[in-house]
Each structure stands twice: as structure tokens, then as C-alpha cells.
Amino acid sequence: MHDTRYATSGMVCSVDHLASAAGVAALDRGGSAADAAIAANAVLTVTAPHMCGLGGDLFALVHDGSSGGVSALNASGRAGSGADPDRLRAEGHERMPHLHDIRSVPVPGCVDGWLALHERHGRLPLASLLEPAIRLASAGFPASPLLLAGARIAAGRPGGGDFAVVHEAGDRVRRPGVARALSAVAADGRDGFYLGEFGEGLLELGAGEYDRADLARPNADWVTPLGIRAFGHDIWSMPPNSQGYLLLMALGIADGLDLPASPDDPLWAHLLAEAARVSGHDRLALLHEDAKDLLAPEEIERRRALVDPARRLRLGAPAAPGDTTYLCAVDGDGMGVSLIQSNAAGFGSMVFEPRTGINLHNRGIGFSLTPGHPAEYGPGRRPPHTLAPALVTRADGSLRSVVGTMGGDAQPQVLLQVITRLLRHGELPGPAISAPRWRIGAGGTGFDTWYAPDDTVLDLEEGAPWSDGLAALGHPVTARPYGGMFGHAHLIDVRPDGTLAGAADPRALIGAAIGR
């Protein structure tokens, strides 16, 4: 059982102890939770390129710690001015290219996200927050066990030479181009990055996919978060183009179901899985950046009525045609930040910007190539995103929890289980995070779950107690090893007396919840 960590004046949880330590160091210097999140994320862009990076996107939820207000930051990039869906269709593509194609690389939003978060909620100089990451990129960092497999592949790609030294965990990796890019942000803000060495290399690599105006346009917007009341709390996530509505809809459905008292009961897994299925089966048709009214109460009631406690639902016609890292921080003043940052699939597109060696995400795989689809690939458009951080407040508006996970299409499913354990069953963060999970699996890439919703199976993590019961209820089940394919979830829970209780996911191997 993974331990719950406790603190009284601040905490940071992330997938890497080096990142968590950098975040806590920012808190020690008087920084805010936003400062801590930026410092931790900056380190992860260096040490965890198989999950996130300067070439990826960012979303964040912020509880300001005073008025009780929750705000949402969408720092997802837009397709370049040269985006041409007709050309892809003429080449025979029915879906966006998954790897090795610059057209699945919207302009990365990470740096714009940092700058917007810092401008509104930061206390320390940005340069000081980036210093630990710059030092690790220049002097080197020990390769984590999770980096090994992807690094061997990345080293063989043009621009991936930083990873040629990785043969076993602990090998020292230096990333001088990333150090230069971070230093440029520290010195010159967004222009140092988007219009500097990285931007010039991206324009060259894009060969018409982007123009300079695309890079000059900021990618970060403060937007209104989505929220729902469930289990006596308000749970918040990101609005479209995020799939956060799937988590909230499933929680709203689950709150009205007769859940068993024990999460070990197969009926518990069945009801939550069905809540996730009836929420997500039509995601490909519904989710686009301008989607509205996805959480209408009557729609939640309609979908809840589809859930049958006695058997798996056949959903009928299929819907229309990663990796990631999550971190969270809470400071001594009660500010909480729930931040998720991603390349999409592992190292992303496996395309590297040639001057800095920064690997570029492939979030463009969320676009549709169906003519006229509201999420069709096109200039200046944001793709549908799997990223779905969460934040929980009490009825009085005070912060209860910050929580999130990586996991592609399965992110809402993982969080549905963790949040239900926390709020409905009163589990501590450690047990809630470390407990075995199910996920709706479709094989393939982890981003294609909803192309044929009735063909999916329930992947059950090693140690899960539900296998026979779920099979009897009509679920095809597959046993899977305990590990990162079921997400890396992290959680900080604020107790009524202000004590912080947190846990980093043991599936991350070197993750850490560090308090002060």
C-alpha cells in the first residue's frame, strides 16, 4: 500500500522526485503554488521527455486560496496556417498521422501556459523558477527507469542524439539545446522561445505548415472551468477542447447510482465502467473546441438511465469517426494548482526540432479528417484533447483536492475511480491512488478507445478483485500488469484543519509527494 504523505504549509506531487523537490524549493523561497507548479513542470520538460516537454501543451486549474474562485488555463496550441486537410485525404489518410509527421504538431503551448500562470499567480522571478531545470539540462540528470525504452527509439531519430547515452537507469543525460531554450525564456519571455532559436527551427522543419504570425500568437487563454456537484462536493475540470466533461458527466451519473459500500465489489467496477462508457461512447462526434452544454442535467439523467446494474450495455452504432504527466501543488495560503502537460504519445510525434533537440508533441492526432466535422484539421484550430485535470471544492468554496493523471483516453476513467474512492468511500490519498484500476481498452494507441465502443474490453490491473464478477455481467476482461498503462495519478487533499495529505502514484516508480 502506497503511503500517504502529510504536510502543513505546502506540498508538491509529481512523477519525478527531482521535479517535486524543485517545486517545494520554490515554496520554501516564498513562492506560490503556481510558482511551485512551474518549477516542477520545467524540471519535467528536461527529465521526462517521454511524457511532456517544451514541445507539448498544458492545461491547469487554479484555486486562488482566498475568494474560493476556480479558474482554468487552456494553453493548447493551434494548427499552423498551412494546415491542409484535403492534402492529407488525397494522400489516403483517414485519420491524422500518429507519428513522424509535422502536420500532427500544433504550435506547442507549454511556454505560453507558464507565462500566463506566472503573470496571474506567480510571486518569484520566472528566471529563478526555471534555474533548477536549466541546471539539470546543462549538467545532466540520471535517466529514470521509465525513460529507458523510449530513449532507445528517440536516439535513432534525427535530432534525438541527447538520448544516445541512455543504456540503463541512472545514466547521465545532458540536454544542452533544452537548456538554451529555457534560458531564452528566462531572459526574453515568449519571444525568446517562439521567435528565437526554437521558433526558427520549427519554421524550418514545418516547411510551410507554420508562418511567423502563428508563432507570434499566444496560445494561452484563461477560460471558465466546467463543474458538477457530486458526492457532496463540486468537482471542476477543463471545458472543451478538453475531454474533462467526460469525467464530470461520469461522476454526475455515478452520484445517482446505488454504488456498493466496498470498491472491491464487482458491481462497483461495473457501475463506474458503465458510467464511463455511456459518457464517452460518442466523444468523437461531440468533442470540439466550440462544444457547449455537454453537462445539461437532463442529458446526465438520460445517460444514467441507460446504466443497467445487471449487465453490460450494448451501445449500438459506433461513434463518428501517452503520454502525459500530471503534477499538483498547494501552498501555505491555500492556493492549489492542478496542472497537466503532455506530448500525447510518449515522445510525441517522434519529430525533433533540429536546433534545440526539443521533441514535438502529436496532439494534432485529436483532429478529424472527416469533411465538415466540427473538429476537422484546419488553420488556427485547436484539436480535441485528452488532457483533463481536476480540482475539488467543498460546498463553501474552499479547496478540497487537486488531482489528475496521465493516460490518454483513460484519464477520465482513472480519475472517476480515484475521486469516487476519496469522496464517496473516504479513502486516504495513498490507498485511493495505489488501488488496482480498470480501464476501457481498445488496444492500439491509447487514443482510439471510442472508434468502436462496443468492441472495447475492460483491462483489469494486476491485483484487481473484480474479474469473475465483471465477466458474469457481460464485460470482456483482460488481465494487465500493474503499471503506467493505468495512469500516473497524483493527489493532494486538504483536510478541514488545513493539513495536507498527498500521494504520488507508485506506478511512476520515482514519483514523489513532498511537503513542507
Is 235 found in the same domain as 141?
no
Rama region for 442: left / alpha / beta (φ>0; ψ in -120 to 50; rest): alpha
Is 123 found in the same domain as 102?
yes
Instruction: Cell numbers for 333, please give them.
Output: 495560503
DSSP 374: T
Is 292 found in the same domain as 250?
yes
Mean pLDDT computed over 212-223: 98
Domain that holds residue 194: 18-218+324-366
The total of structural domains in the chain comes to 2
pTM: 0.97
Is 328 found in the same domain as 317?
no
Position 339 in a domain:
yes
324 noted as active-site residue? yes
CB-count burial class (<10 Å; 0-12, 13-18, 19+) for 371: exposed
Position 8 in a domain:
no
Q: What is the mean pLDDT of the chain?
A: 95
CB-count burial class (<10 Å; 0-12, 13-18, 19+) for 29: middle
Mean pLDDT computed over 123-151: 96
Q: How far is CA 310 from CA 103, 258, 475, in A?
A: 45, 12, 11
* Residue 172: how many other CB atoms lie within 10 Å: 11
Question: With 80 as the cut, is the pLDDT of residue 317 above it?
Answer: no
Is 135 found in the same domain as 74?
yes
Model pLDDT for residues 387-425, shown as the tens digit of each residue: 999 999 999 999 999 999 999 999 999 999 999 999 999
Last residue of a domain, one of 336, 366, 396: 366
Contact 417, 461 (CB under 8 A): no
Is 136 found in the same domain as 266?
no
Is 157 found in the same domain as 66?
yes
Is 359 found in the same domain as 492?
no
pLDDT value for 441: 87
φ/ψ (deg, to 5) at 460: -115, 125
pLDDT value for 174: 98
Question: With 50 as the cut, is the pLDDT of residue 9 above it?
Answer: yes
Position 376 in a domain:
no
| Residue among 508, 253, 281, 495 nearest 394 (CA) | 495
SS3 441: strand
Question: With 70 as the cut, is the pLDDT of residue 219 above it?
Answer: yes
The kind and range of the H/E element at 70 are strand 70-75
Is 460 found in the same domain as 328?
no
- Let me know how long the chain is: 516
Model pLDDT for residues 475-502, shown as the tens digit of each residue: 999 999 999 999 999 999 999 999 999 9
Model pLDDT for residues 245-268, shown as the tens digit of each residue: 999 999 999 999 999 999 999 999
Is 488 found in the same domain as 347?
no
Model pLDDT for residues 462-472, shown as the tens digit of each residue: 999 999 999 99
| Residue among 430, 342, 429, 428 nearest 389 (CA) | 342
Confidence of residue 446 (pLDDT cuts 50, 70, 90): confident
pLDDT value for 321: 35
Model pLDDT for residues 319-350, shown as the tens digit of each residue: 333 468 999 999 999 999 999 999 998 899 99
Is 346 found in the same domain as 314?
no
Question: With 90 as the cut, is the pLDDT of residue 67 above it?
Answer: no
Catalytic choice (4, 45, 47, 324) = 324
Confidence of residue 2 (pLDDT cuts 50, 70, 90): low
